[in-house]
Amino acid sequence: METLLYIIARGLVAFLQSLSLTTVARLGRAGGGLAYWLDVRHRRAAVNGLKLVFGREKSAAEIRALARENFKRLGENYCCAIKTASMTAEELRPHCEFVGMEKLPPPDADGKAPSVVVAIGHFGNFELYARFGQYWPQFQCATTYRALREPSLNRLMQSLRERSGCLFFERKSQGDALRAAMARRSIILGLLSDQRTIRGGVFIPFLGKECSTTTAPAVFALRYDCPLYTAICYRTGLARWRVVLGEKIPTHHSESARSTEEIMRDVNEAFGEAVRRDPANWFWVHNRWKLQAGKRNPAVKPTANVS
């Protein structure tokens, strides 16, 4: 079965990479629209999540329309990620821009910049985060990933990703290699931080509802004394994206370190603002607010700092 799946996946990759990016985007949107009707489980997850967050401000029809558009966006993003993996930096340039990079620390006299940690999320074509280093060569991009269960499919996936020049570290088996990389300078470590975590996280608000949240960006920023930022990939049109680097998130109060919970509250607030800016751009098919044993996620009263 794994061999058959690999053959199908490899054929799909070859087919999509033979087409223009805009054609791939249209096909992806069509496929996502079809998936909305066929994939009942994920459609329910998307609708329920949208209701939880926007139920008091949007009608049922608006919620359903957002869910349909979200599925179309996901289809577009996944298919385009396969195509953009085969494109050079110059081929990709008309379709993607990186904004706010002047906020990053500049190189020292020896040409080396301090390493930084960037909390990223499943916004837009999130595989484009890994292309940053091709436009700002003073930084070496790095990130973590969870290996697929099927070795051949995992190799195929990584062969697509590694063309970006980004360093990929498997979360369970390559921790030592990641720590060695972070000991170097000029690393920009992107950590996906918008999904539910099973263990080791904190229970804090996201979009006004409490949920389990990873502390990895805060832990790495504190451990390696790195500046911490967020980055969001916004869709600006068909097969067009803008990756925006957010403001630096404080990791210290004067001389003392902030708690990981305080830091991740700021990360969640930045992510929440991005979701509200373009609700269909996020990964609603993931049950972000699934309850943990002994936990509740009642609505959190909005404040000036909570999206």
pTM: 0.91
Q: What is the pLDDT of residues 218-277, one digit of tens each?
A: 999 999 999 999 999 999 999 999 999 999 999 999 889 999 999 999 999 999 999 999
Burial 258-268 (b: 16+ CB within 10 A, else e): bebebbbbbbb
In this predicted structure, what is the pLDDT of residue 295? 54
Over residues 12-51, the pLDDT tens digits come to 999 999 999 999 999 999 999 999 999 999 999 999 999 9
Percent of the residues in the chain that have a pLDDT greater than 90, as a whole number: 78
The pLDDT value given to residue 57:
95
For 91-133, how does the pLDDT look when each residue is reduced to its tens digit (9 = 90+)?
999 999 999 999 999 888 887 889 999 999 999 999 999 999 8
